[in-house]
Amino acid sequence: MFFCLPAPISAGASSLGFPAFPSSLAPLDLLWIALAAVGAGLVNAIAGGGTLISFPALMAVGVPAVASNVTNTVALVPGYLGATFAQARDLRGQERRLRLLVPAAMLGGLAGSVLLLSTSERLFRQLVPWLILLACGLLASQERVRRWAAARSAGNPNPAPKAGAWAALPVFAAAIYGGYFGAGLSVIILAVLALMYDDNLTRLNGLKQALAFATNVAAAGLFLFSGRVVWPAAAVMAVGALAGGALGGRLASSIPPAVLRRVVVSLGVVVALVYLVR
pLDDT tens string 131-144: 989 888 888 887 88
C-beta of residue 214 within 8 angstroms of C-beta of residue 12: no
Structural domain containing residue 136: 27-277
The count of other CB atoms within 10 Å of the CB of residue 5 is 16
Q: Is 52 domain-assigned?
A: yes
Q: What does the pLDDT read at residue 96?
A: 87
Mean pLDDT, rounded, of the chain: 81
Q: What does the pLDDT read at residue 20?
A: 55
Burial class (CB in 10 A: 0-12, 13-18, 19+), 44: buried
Q: Is 13 domain-assigned?
A: no
**Residue 54 three-state SS:** helix
Q: Is 229 domain-assigned?
A: yes
How far is 268 from 136, CA to CA, in rounded Å? 6
Give phi and psi for 4, each to the nearest 5: -125, 135
Least confident of 37-41, 57-61, 89-93, 217-221: 89-93
Q: Is 16 domain-assigned?
A: no
Q: What is the pTM of this model?
A: 0.79
Q: What does the pLDDT read at residue 86?
A: 72
Q: Is 223 domain-assigned?
A: yes
The count of other CB atoms within 10 Å of the CB of residue 86 is 14
Q: Is 252 domain-assigned?
A: yes
Best CA proximity match to 114, nearest among 176, 69, 160: 176
C-beta of residue 207 within 8 angstroms of C-beta of residue 190: no
Total of domains in the chain: 1
Q: What percent of the chain has pLDDT over 70?
A: 85
pLDDT tens string 42-80: 887 777 788 888 999 999 999 999 999 999 999 888 777
Q: Is 7 domain-assigned?
A: no
**Residue 181 three-state SS:** coil
Q: Is 268 domain-assigned?
A: yes
